[in-house]
Structure 1
């Protein structure tokens, strides 16, 4: 198999793995979304439910590309560790919030997640500016999601 085909296949696997994991997490947390979450006092800025699935699908595809590129460009072990850690925190946020209803703990997790993504963006901006730019929508969405999380914590 030639190098271009291997790279395309590995990129596809990265993106597909993140999208599939996001889908599984969504399925696991769906009961909490349809029951518990609907009964909460939410910010007037809370988008309709379908927006979250659409936005996260796009973001997971971008995060998958960034993860693939980090491994392809032989980034440092520290950069890879930050990437994996932020990804794990991302994956545990939804179950914490929607399944276990741990609003404050999920707020703490998302604030740590924002710090990790900002650190990752800063590191990548030095030698992989495109990756840092691709992570910007993710960083901004996390900021918005933390506002929504904080609103729920304060008003419920």
Structure 2
């Protein structure tokens, strides 16, 4: 009889320290709807960005001096299509564990980086005809903030669902590359 309280005390202490388990409360339908919403939001950001690129890619950007490592324009669409899908899946995986400590903050960082992603394109492409080279420098500042926000998002996602952080790795690589393009264009055309 003397061992029973100590076992209960150990279990109680162990339960307080152990991270909460992720209950599977979400129905398959609700989870599927959530994934679709994450995809719709990400592709909505893409559509918003494309509004400012449509006229400007063949306009001022076509005649702008570019760095030697600038890819052909045809590459951007397919790359971003894949990246937005990976980003959405990563966020959805974290959302599915939203009851874990830190999950809501991680999703907050995801939203913050998505907002920075959404404003970079209109500033870079759309503001250039209005304010010239200053737009390229402002956009370069925004993309550096985006780089930082994505790193923080990845670190936060890794605590909740490591695979979600890894799904953002290609996105981070691409935006770091895009950062060099942005600064290159600012230097050459600003």
Give the alignment's TM-score, normalised by structure 2. 0.76
- CA drift of 1:7 comes to 1.2
**1:99-125 deviation per Cα after TM superposition (whole angstroms, max 9, x unaligned):** 002100100000011011111112222
More helix by share: 1
1:36-51 superposed matches below 5 A? 36-51=60-75
Aligned residues: 155
Looking at structure 1, the residues matched to 29 and 105 of structure 2 have their Cα atoms a distance apart, in angstroms, of 28
Call closer, same or farther: CA 1:153–1:99 in 2, change over 3 Å: same
Give the match's secondary structure for 2:168.
Answer: helix
Which one has the largest radius of gyration? 2
1:116-155 superposed matches below 5 A? 116-155=149-188
Choose which of 17, 28, 40 in structure 1 pairs with 2:52: 28
- CA drift of 1:146 comes to 0.3
Structure 1: gaps (5+ residues): none
CA RMSD of aligned residues (A): 1.6
The question of 1:111 aligning with 2:152 is answered no
Give the alignment's TM-score, normalised by structure 1. 0.92
Looking at structure 1, the residues matched to 27 and 56 of structure 2 have their Cα atoms a distance apart, in angstroms, of 44
Looking at structure 1, the residues matched to 104 and 162 of structure 2 have their Cα atoms a distance apart, in angstroms, of 18
Structure 2: gaps (5+ residues): 1-25, 129-134
Looking at structure 1, the residues matched to 76 and 114 of structure 2 have their Cα atoms a distance apart, in angstroms, of 17
Give the match's secondary structure for 1:27.
Answer: helix
- Could you tell me which residue of structure 2 aligns to residue 71 of structure 1? 95
Write out the 4+ residue segments of structure 1 that deviate beyond 4 Å after TM superposition: none
